[in-house]
Amino acid sequence: KAGVTQTPRYLIKTRGQQVTLSCSPISGHRSVSWYQQTPGQGLQFLFEYFSETQRNKGNFPGRFSGRQFSNSRSEMNVSTLELGDSALYLCASRPGTEVDTIYFGEGSWLTVV
């Protein structure tokens, strides 16, 4: 069974640009969540989607958005990039309930210059 797949793995963007990251969950998983990891703040929750609906959202500005498609694949978008958005963005999936183990992808490394 394939794991959580994130693309692209590495990317460099310029301040002010926007970026879209993609995540394909494990087959059959309906919940997808996104986390940002930085040396300064550690791992922070961005949002979670379940059956195409945003179920929960962390404390990030509106520049951070996401969506989930009918096949459970998810994308997150960051507009008007700032230097502080440089981070490892991790996607995670689980079958759908809070009692389930959560599985993380390898992440997308975003560098903003």
Q: For binding to another protein (CB under 8 A), which residues are involved?
A: 4, 31, 33, 35, 42-45, 48, 50, 55-56, 58, 90, 92, 98-99, 101-107, 109
Pick the closer one to another protein by CB: 46 or 80. 46
Pick the closer one to another protein by CB: 18 or 102. 102
Nearest to 68 by CA among 50, 80, 56, 81: 50
Nearest to 21 by CA among 35, 39, 38, 2: 35
Minimum CB separation of residue 95 from another protein in Å reads 12
Residue 93 CB partners (closer than 8 Å, separation 6+)? 4, 23, 25, 26, 29, 31, 32, 33, 72, 102, 103
Tokens 């997150």 locate to 76
Minimum CB separation of residue 27 from another protein in Å reads 18
CA distance 2 to 91: 14
